[in-house]
Structure 1
Amino acid sequence: MLSRVQWKIIDALRKSEKPIGVRRISYMTGCSISEIWRQIRKMERMNIVTRASYGSYRRYLLNYNNPIVEPLLRLLETSERYSWLMGRDIYSAIRQLEKYYITGLFSVKGLVLNLVIPRKFIIAVSRDEVGKAMTIREWFNGLYSIEIVEKCVEKSLFSQDIYGINMASPEQAIADSAAFFELDPMGNAEVLLLLLYRDLDFSLISKLTEMQEARYRIWFVMRLGRLMGMPLPSEDFKPKEKAGDPSFERMMTAAFLRLIRSGQISGDKGW
Structure 2
Amino acid sequence: MKVGLFGANGRMGRVLIEALDQSDQAELSVATVRDDSPWVNMNVGELAGIGKQAIDCSAMSSLTAKDADVMIDFTLPVIFETNIAWCVEHKMPVVIGTTGLSEAQLATLDEAAKQIPIVFAANYSVGVNLMLSLVRQAASVLGHTADIEITEAHHRFKQDAPSGTAMAIGEAIADELGRDLKTCAVYGREGKEPERDQGTIGFATVRAGDIVGEHTALFADIGERLEITHKASSRLTFAKGAVHAAQWLHGKDAGPYSMVDVLNLKL
Select the structure that is richer in helix: 1
TM-score, normalized by the shorter chain, greater than 0.5: no
Q: Mark the structure with the bigger radius of gyration.
A: 1
TM-score relative to the length of structure 1: 0.28
With a CA cutoff of 8 Å and minimum separation of 6, indicate the structure with the bigger relative contact order: 2
Q: State the TM-score, normalized to the length of structure 2.
A: 0.29
